[in-house]
């Protein structure tokens, strides 16, 4: 078996599991963040569910640790009150990012399982553990049952050969991987990373790479734990653990050998994490701000790397540098090692630990027309504000902050750039809607052909509305950040069916991106493929999502009426009576759909 197969087998009471098999997985660590936590509490309370094991259950307030937003503050307090009533530990606003805390506080260890309302919970792959981001229902189910269903994924092996070139960081490595595999080249796979260089990578470097599995559509990027990683986890863990390693004869769906010596300092262009180019291709682009932090690059090694370049230098005039460590432990180490003084003398803003701008709840947001170089993992339009966001390594980000324009550390000018940036405009969209559940196995409705690939969850449901917890209010924000479809809530009609392209729902674990369509009384979504978390969220909400391979024979036109048979997997165009086969319900999908919700099973 592969690493993920061994972990899932050991946590489902089986000697062996195979790809495609659906298993009930015992979850060792169950997290809910501040934006998703209130939804988890609501689901538990509505369904009168208890907590299976409070000792394995935690709240982590990392999205808005300042409590600067009234709705976030209200949600945090709702979680605190629930925690007091149910003896649940809260890592409150002073603690930092939940997935990092899980590693550093010994909650999770090699071979263990963890779920969170954080779509980057697969960061646990850095220590050879299974971590998954899930929606509110999934987490509520894990809290109440101690386990969740999961389909065993196929595995991919990537071997990095050769020596790492000078000035190639872990962030450069994962950006080069994104350039090769794109947003969906590893969709639904569990990836194992091997090679001489990977064996000597530090925990912080492994975290950087594993944290961007989601941006490739992968279930996880798993590192076989080295002796150093095992020793670190042993020093932090309060429990015995058993690391998982792939068998020599493990079966992989695909294998790749990639030469590290061909990797270059890289940067992702605004809007798409996978739209990666060499830094030299955009060298000289004027910037307004730089952000160093997030679950991808907020570790101690990242802080020291920033200081290495900043010491004795100043941030360019007019450029704002924002630095946020991942955890409070790292913040305190920055204090004791004198790093904070260097940051402040350079002109940087140093914030309290948390997710920062990536979560739209803290330091790091940008304004219309603003260009930002970020060490985060996502740069979807609107994700970190209204401006443009480039993704880069810490070295490239800090060098750019000093230069005033995008550059590398070996190309920093003696005099920084001071020219001004452009300003763009902002659009706003609204509508309303509220669905009524239907358990019909044959659906009839008009289609919307939204034939784009990689429509991410920020396009579907902007993160600025994540504090909305009432589903009936979510419909008016559906597709509000997808160009050309901002008015979708106004024109959507009762019973509509959406047909779209590949990797629909890539990105965040937000349940809102499913529930906004339910609020508009849309009946189903058909796509060539779905983001893994999005598909789970839809299935668990009892909302039909099906895949297709080819619909050309239907000769579909926008607003044609179709008939969709969920059990048989037939799609018929009533205008010409042509029918094609599409994916049909799996057994678990059918059961959840018939009951209307995962939590009613």
Question: Of 427, 483, 490, which is closest to residue 455 (Cα–Cα)?
Answer: 483
Residue environment code for 107-143, b if the CB has 16+ CB neighbours within 10 A, otherwise e: bbbbbbbbbbbbbbbbbbbbbbbbbbbbbbbbbbbbb
CA dist., res. 486 & res. 479, Å (int) = 6
**Neighbour tally for 528: CB within 10 Å:** 18
Under-70 pLDDT residues of the chain? 67, 359-362, 419-438
CA 344 from centroid of its chain's CA atoms: 31
Angle at 127 between CA 123 and CA 128, to 5 degrees: 95
- Beta partners for 371? 388
Residue environment code for 371-405, b if the CB has 16+ CB neighbours within 10 A, otherwise e: bbbbbbbbbbbbbbbbbbbbbbbbbbbbbbbbbbb
Structure tokens at 21: 């098999």
CA dist., res. 60 & res. 412, Å (int) = 39
CA dist., res. 54 & res. 290, Å (int) = 40
CA dist., res. 517 & res. 35, Å (int) = 20
Note the pLDDT of residue 424.
54
C-beta of residue 97 within 8 angstroms of C-beta of residue 117: no
C-beta of residue 520 within 8 angstroms of C-beta of residue 492: yes
**Domains in the chain with CATH codes:** 3-262 (3.30.499.10), 282-411 (3.30.499.10), 442-600 (3.20.19.10)
Task: Kindly report, residue by residue over 295-354, the tens digit of the pLDDT.
Answer: 999 999 999 999 999 999 999 999 999 999 999 999 999 999 999 999 999 999 999 999
Note the pLDDT of residue 436.
40
Question: Of 132, 133, 188, which is closest to residue 11 (Cα–Cα)?
Answer: 132
**How many Cα atoms sit within 13 Å of 153 on the Cβ side?**
24
CA dist., res. 245 & res. 232, Å (int) = 17
CA dist., res. 504 & res. 531, Å (int) = 6
Question: Of 576, 460, 574, which is closest to residue 525 (Cα–Cα)?
Answer: 460
Note the pLDDT of residue 72.
81
Note the pLDDT of residue 429.
43
- Could you say which DSSP state residue 530 is in? B
Note the pLDDT of residue 434.
34
Task: Kindly report, residue by residue over 461-514, the tens digit of the pLDDT.
Answer: 998 888 888 899 999 999 999 999 999 999 999 999 999 999 999 999 999 999
Residue environment code for 571-594, b if the CB has 16+ CB neighbours within 10 A, otherwise e: bbbeeeeebbebbebeeebeebbe
C-beta of residue 176 within 8 angstroms of C-beta of residue 263: yes
CA 303 from centroid of its chain's CA atoms: 23
Note the pLDDT of residue 360.
61
Please provide the size of the chain in residues. Answer: 601
Please, which residues have CB within 8 angstroms of residue 48's CB and are 6 or more apart in sequence?
A: none
Identify the residue whose tokens are 């830094």: 279
């Amino acid at each position: 078996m592969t690493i993920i197969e061994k972990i899932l087998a050991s946590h489902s009471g089986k000697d062996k599991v195979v790809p495609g098999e659906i298993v009930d997985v015992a979850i060792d660590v169950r997290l809910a963040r501040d934006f998703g936590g209130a939804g988890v509490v609501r689901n538990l309370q509505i369904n009168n569910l208890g907590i299976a094991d409070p000792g394995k259950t935690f709240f982590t307030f990392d999205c808005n640790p300042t409590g600067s937003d009234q709705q976030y503050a209200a949600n945090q307090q709702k979680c605190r009150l629930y925690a007091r009533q149910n003896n649940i530990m809260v890592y409150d606003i002073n603690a930092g990012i939940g997935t990092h805390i899980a590693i550093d506080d010994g909650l999770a260890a090699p071979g263990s399982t963890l779920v969170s309302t954080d779509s980057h919970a697969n960061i646990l792959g850095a220590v050879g553990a299974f971590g998954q981001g899930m929606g509110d229902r999934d987490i509520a189910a894990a809290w109440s049952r101690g386990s969740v269903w999961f389909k065993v994924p196929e595995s991919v092996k990537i071997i990095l050969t050769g020596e790492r070139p000078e000035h190639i960081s872990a962030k450069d490595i994962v950006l080069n991987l994104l350039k090769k595999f794109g947003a969906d080249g590893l969709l639904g796979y569990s990836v194992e990373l091997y090679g001489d260089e990977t064996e000597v990578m530090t925990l912080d470097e492994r975290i950087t790479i594993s944290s961007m599995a989601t941006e490739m559509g992968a279930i996880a990027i798993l590192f076989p734990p080295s002796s150093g990683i095992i020793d670190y986890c042993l020093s932090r863990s309060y429990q015995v653990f058993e690391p998982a390693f792939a068998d020599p004869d493990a079966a992989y769906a695909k294998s790749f050998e990639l030469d590290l010596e061909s990797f270059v300092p890289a940067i992702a262009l605004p809007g798409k994490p996978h739209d990666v180019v060499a830094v030299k291709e955009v060298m000289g682009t004027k910037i307004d701000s730089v952000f160093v932090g997030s679950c991808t690059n907020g570790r101690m090694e990242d802080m020291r790397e920033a200081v290495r370049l900043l010491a004795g230098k100043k941030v360019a005039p007019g450029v704002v540098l924002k630095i946020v460590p991942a955890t409070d432990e790292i913040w305190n180490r920055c204090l004791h090692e004198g790093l904070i003084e260097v940051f402040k003398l350079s002109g940087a803003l140093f914030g309290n630990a948390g997710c920062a701008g990536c979560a739209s709840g803290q330091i790091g947001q940008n304004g219309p027309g603003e260009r930002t170089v970020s060490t985060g993992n996502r740069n979807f339009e609107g994700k970190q504000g209204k401006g443009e966001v480039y993704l880069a390594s810490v070295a490239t980000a800090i060098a750019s902050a000093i230069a005033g324009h995008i550059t590398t550390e070996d190309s920093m000018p003696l005099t920084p750039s001071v020219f001004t940036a452009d300003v763009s405009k902002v659009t706003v969209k609204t509508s309303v809607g509220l669905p009524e559940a239907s358990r019909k196995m044959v659906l009839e409705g008009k289609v919307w052909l939204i034939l784009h690939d990689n429509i991410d969850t920020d396009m579907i449901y902007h993160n600025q509305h994540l504090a909305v917890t009432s589903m009936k209010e979510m419909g008016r924000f559906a597709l509000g950040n997808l160009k050309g479809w901002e008015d979708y809530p106004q024109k959507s009609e009762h019973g509509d069916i959406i047909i779209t392209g590949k990797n629909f729902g890539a990105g965040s674990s937000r349940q809102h991106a499913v529930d906004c369509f339910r609020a508009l009384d849309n009946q189903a979504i058909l796509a060539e493929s779905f983001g893994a978390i999005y598909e789970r969220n839809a299935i668990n909400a009892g909302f039909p999502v099906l895949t297709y391979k080819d619909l050309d024979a239907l000769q579909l036109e926008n607003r044609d009426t179709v008939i969709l048979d969920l059990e048989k997997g037939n799609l018929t165009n009533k205008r010409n009576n042509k029918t094609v086969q599409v994916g049909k319900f799996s057994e678990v999908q059918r059961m959840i759909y018939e009951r209307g919700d995962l939590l009613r099973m």
